[in-house]
Chain A
Amino acid sequence: MTKIVDTNRIAEVVKRSISEALAVPADKVVPPARLISDLRAESIDVADVRFRIESGLSIRIDQREMTAAIGEGVSAEEFDTSFTVQFIIDYVTRQMVAEQ
């Protein structure tokens, strides 16, 4: 069945999932915010964010594929810089488009 990709809704669900999982105020969950160094996400929190996005958008996200999309062999610093709220919104959007 073809899903309609509503980019506003994707952004809304991703931001809400991050805010609720990490217990950070919604106004701190801005597109350039880095999950690890700005929002203090730990590995289990990233899984929690994923669970909430999957539930909210009825999709499946492979966490290893998502983090690998940042780039193979990147340093921890480069990973942190790239792993932002906007990165997750873009990744989820691409996944939903690909599912169509």
Chain B
Amino acid sequence: MDEENKDIRTVLITGGTRGIGRAVAIRLAGHGFSKVLANYCQDDASAAETKANLERLGATCHLYRANLAFPAEIEGMFDRLNEVCSRIDAFVHCAALGAFKPLSEVKPNQWDLSMAINARAFLHCIQKCRPLMKDGSVVAISSLGSRMALPNYGAIGPSKAAMEAVVRQLAMELGPHGIRINAVAAGVIENQARSVFPHFDDLKTLIIKNTPAGRIGTPEDVADIVAFLVSRDARWIQGQVIVADGGFSLGISGNQ
């Protein structure tokens, strides 16, 4: 297996073929990670397109279709992954799911799905990565909803808060073993939000008006921060949640 070659750096990205996950894959493939293991749940076409993009950048890409809501599928994904990989240098959890509705109206299965994919699968994947990571870095994609009340954010906020608690706890437990674990709490990202937030255009106007940066975020904005966190330059950052929202969470901006 080529992982014995120390020059080949490998990253596993859940939800790695669309949105933020795809941007992270492309960003890392262009900056030192020559092997990308990309998980996805459905949409074979997007997965194939992402793989082709990565290969054009000179990276090797392995696709793993697995539904992270089911622990057995995570186990199966790692069984397949172990056939081509004996070392993982970075793991980025981008997979996410949730119902965009008032939390007071969330149904039990909707709560369970958000918790399963946003928090439990994150923990499970780290546990499976652990034997493959010597000195490694983990980044979870969180959101402002972990700390702020956002309209119609359902169970996503609580599940992201659970994810961030996992980040802190595991940073303490695995830090002594050379593994750094951090999160990026992203503000609203245009491409994803458009399809899921009710009344997105009104929300976008509100966000831009209250963001010092004067615009809404892009997947690439988040991918650049992930690239920093998995790099050696971030070696002194451990167990932290980096807010990346153009300043939206600071308060009322007054942009016109």
* A residues at B contact (CB < 8 Å): 20-23, 42-45, 47-48, 51, 54-55, 60, 62-64
Contact = CB atoms under 8 A, between A and B. Distances in A.
Interface of B: 42-44, 65, 67, 69-70, 72-73, 97-99, 101, 107-110, 113
Given A42-B101, A47-B97, A23 B42 contact: no
A60 B109 CA distance: 20
A42 B99 contact: yes
A45 B107 contact: yes
B65 A60 contact: yes
A44 B108 contact: no
A45 B67 contact: no
Chain A CB within 10 Å — which of B42, B43, B110 has the most? B42
27 contacts: A20-B109, A21-B109, A23-B107, A23-B108, A23-B109, A43-B99, A44-B98, A44-B99, A45-B109, A45-B110, A47-B97, A47-B113, A48-B109, A51-B67, A51-B69, A51-B70, A51-B113, A54-B67, A55-B67, A55-B70, A60-B42, A60-B65, A62-B42, A62-B43, A62-B44, A63-B42, A64-B43
B134 to A, nearest CB: 34
A20 B65 CA distance: 24
- What's the dominant secondary structure at chain A's contact region? helix
Contacts of B42: 60, 62-63
Contacts of B108: 23
A51 B121 CA distance: 15
Nearest to B73: A55
Contacts of B44: 62
Contact of A44 (B43, B67, B73, B97): B97
Contacts of A55: 67, 70, 72-73
A43 B72 CA distance: 24
A44 B108 CA distance: 12
A43 B196 CA distance: 10
Nearest to B114: A44
A54 B76 CA distance: 15
A47 B43 CA distance: 13
Contacts of A51: 67, 69-70, 113
